[in-house]
Amino acid sequence: KQEVTQIPAALSVPEGENLVLNCSFTDSAIYNLQWFRQDPGKGLTSLLLIQSSQREQTSGRLNASLDKSSGRSTLYIAASQPGDSATYLCAVALSYNTDKLIFGTGTRLQVFP
């Protein structure tokens, strides 16, 4: 059974720092991996989607990498800002059932001025 883990559960950093969020999965048979952002009391917003054949994706100050063989993905946030404060979730789509996403429990990020 696929399990998705995100460590740490919470992170607090000063503004301007570069930071890395981690996502681990137990079954390397994934179709793609997606990173989401969730603001308090709101729904999820998709940030980046990496197909299993890709190594990384970039969008602005965000860079997500994928290492299928080791079951790991990282989300790199450059020059963090208070507006980046949110919970970040990763989710994997299984290669043998791409209809569903398996979610991690998230990392709650706080960026203070």
Q: Minimal distance in Å, beta carbon 69 to other proteins? A: 22
Binding mask 39-78 for other proteins (x = CB under 8 A): --xxxxxx--x-x---------------------------
- From 16-24, 58-66, 73-81, 96-104, give the range in contact with other proteins by CB under 8 A: 96-104
89: tokens are 């979730």
Given 21, 68, 106, 109, the residue binding other proteins (CB under 8 A): 106
Mind spelling out the 3-state secondary structure of 4-73?
EEEECCEEEEECCCCEEEEEEECCCCEEEEEEEEECCCCCEEEEEEEECCCCEEEECCEEEEEECCCCEE
Q: Minimal distance in Å, beta carbon 17 to other proteins? A: 26
Given 18, 26, 98, 110, the residue binding other proteins (CB under 8 A): 98
Residue keyed to tokens 């460590």: 7
